[in-house]
Amino acid sequence: MLELRSVTKHYRQGGEVVAALDGVDLRIGAGEFVALVGPSGSGKSTLLHLAGGIDRPDAGEVLVGGVDLAGLGAAGRARLRRRRIGFVFQFFALLPTLTVQENVELPLTFEGDRAAPARASELLERVGLGGKAGRYPGELSGGEMQRVAMARALVAGAPLILADEPTGNLDSATGTDVLDLLAEQVRAAGATLLLVTHDEAASGRADRVLSLRDGQLGGL
């Protein structure tokens, strides 16, 4: 479902060039749950952004479902993200002027899918927020907002879910509940999950745990 081949990404910090990723190879199969751990600044979010086509590598290949992202223009990458990738971010990335229902419908709305309202309602029920569909994000707790973000990531039936520190902005008890729910819903959908986290307890739910340090990827 996701493959990185000899991927390199550099950034300039002051007068230095830093290798966020240095020849990284990664292969994640369909339906697999992989956790990626490592210290701050180790390149975890960079890897996730490359996997989602948000950023482009300096060298190497990124393939999603066998599609090489380098062969797609900006419009093609955006289309692939809408159809094949769901994102869950640490700070939720919900639109404050849209209701919970409208936020979850958004990926399907862009595709002109008439089933958007029904599908969004179904996902909100599954994450325990069916009664709050008409609320706005600012009226929800942090845990509730993250559950809305999860529903939005799953609503289009994307086969690949990328989660960047989804519990990083939550207290430990709420974070545990959210992570349990995310793993449960992703597995129920048969999707692939790549989870970036600082929380080693969170990574314990994964099928496989990888460590990223100094631009190099290794197993734990």
Q: Where are the domains of the chain?
A: 31-48+72-219
pLDDT surpassing 60 at residue 82: yes
Query: pTM for the full model?
Result: 0.88
Residue 169 is classified by DSSP as T
Instruction: Tell me how far apart the alpha carbons of residues 106 and 155 are, in angstroms, rounded to a whole number.
Output: 9
Q: Residue range 14-38: average pLDDT?
A: 89
- List, in sequence order, every residue forming a beta bridge with 3; answer none if it has no partner: 27, 63
Among candidates 87, 55, 85, 93, which has minimal Cα distance to 169?
93
CATH dotted code for 31-48+72-219: 3.40.50.300
Lowest mean pLDDT among 52-61, 124-133, 210-219: 210-219
Burial of 14 (0-12, 13-18, 19+ CB in 10 A): exposed
Lowest mean pLDDT among 8-12, 49-53, 105-109, 111-115: 111-115
Count of beta carbons in the 10 Å neighbourhood of residue 47:
30
Instruction: Tell me how far apart the alpha carbons of residues 77 and 213 are, in angstroms, rounded to a whole number.
Output: 28
The model's confidence at residue 63, banded by pLDDT at 50, 70 and 90, is very high
Instruction: Tell me how far apart the alpha carbons of residues 13 and 151 are, in angstroms, rounded to a whole number.
Output: 36
pLDDT score for 31: 93
Residue type for 203, please?
Answer: S
Among candidates 196, 210, 187, 126, which has minimal Cα distance to 168?
196
pLDDT score for 220: 54
pLDDT score for 135: 96
